Amino acid sequence: MSPAAGFRPRSGCLGRVAAGSATRWGVSEGSPPGHGDAEGNADQDVVDARVRADIDRFGWHAALFPADGSTPGWAVTVGLFERFDHPEVVIFGPDLQSMNGLLTHVAHQVVHGRRFEAGEDAHDVLKGQAVGFRPVARKWIAPFLGNVAWHYRNEDFPVLQCFWPDPGGRLPWHEGADPDWRDDQPQLFHQETHRALSEALIEALRREGAL
């Protein structure tokens, strides 16, 4: 099922992969790049080579991180800024396959010339519903996007967070938004920790030493 035909991130809907591949840095490949010792780490060298090959072939790479307890999963592009001068895109949620499907659909549009803008609510991504794009504050790059920073060797790259709607079509900041769906998506355009993250996610990140 194409994400444009319906995206239900809490229901296990599968997204059709149109470009890029899904390597889970820090999940199946050892320590996430940027969070471990890159020197002499053959596994990281393999991952880096795969990321480079995907960017060269497809224009981007997808890095996937599954949900873990109180921490939602996320999927993020690597290479859109490098190849298309477009912000990288990150999506949070509990269903990794659905996030990858939506991310693939968004990235595929970027490859073919579409530009998503900070503050935009796009109505041409999901059928009959809007998704929101908001800029990720730089303070959240290290806790969530260290793998992308590893690729660029710095944190000086733009990122848009793509937000999906609840069953009523409401985005997380809309009045009456479903709290369960809202909590699955940290609002990383906020600088203030307690506005950006749920209490459960704040606690989880503090336990890991990320805050």
The model's pLDDT over 80-98, given as tens digits with 9 standing for 90+, comes to: 999 999 999 999 998 888 8
Report, as an integer, the average pLDDT of 148-177. Answer: 94
> What are φ and ψ of residue 93, in 5° steps?
165, 175
What per-residue confidence (pLDDT) applies to 181?
80
Residue 45 has pLDDT above 80, yes or no: yes
Report, as an integer, the average pLDDT of 3-10. Answer: 36
CB of 136 within 8 A of CB of 160? yes
**CA torsion 16→20→25→27, rounded to 10°?**
30
What Rg do the C-alpha atoms of the chain give, in angstroms?
A: 16
Its pTM stands at: 0.81
Higher-pLDDT residue of 160, 70: 160
Rounded Cα distance between 164 and 102, Å, is 9
Let me know if 106 is exposed, middle or buried by CB neighbors in 10 A (0-12, 13-18, 19+).
Answer: buried
Task: Count CB atoms within 10 A of the CB of residue 20.
Answer: 25
CA 166 to each of CA 30, 72, 102, 134, 149: distance values in angstroms, whole numbers, following the listed order: 34, 16, 15, 17, 30
Report, as an integer, the average pLDDT of 61-73. Answer: 88
Task: Count CB atoms within 10 A of the CB of residue 168.
Answer: 11
What per-residue confidence (pLDDT) applies to 113?
97
Report, as an integer, the average pLDDT of 158-163. Answer: 98
Higher-pLDDT residue of 198, 181: 198
- For the stretch 68-79, pLDDT in tens is 877 889 999 999
Residue 56 has pLDDT above 70, yes or no: yes
Rounded Cα distance between 105 and 2, Å, is 8
* Helix or strand holding residue 177 (H, E): none
Residue 145 has pLDDT above 50, yes or no: yes
Give the confidence band of 208 by pLDDT, cuts at 50, 70, 90.
Answer: confident
**Range of weakest confidence among 9-13, 142-146, 196-200:** 9-13
Residue 27 has pLDDT above 80, yes or no: no
Report, as an integer, the average pLDDT of 121-136. Answer: 93
Domain boundaries, the chain: 3-207
Encoded tokens for 88: 């990288």
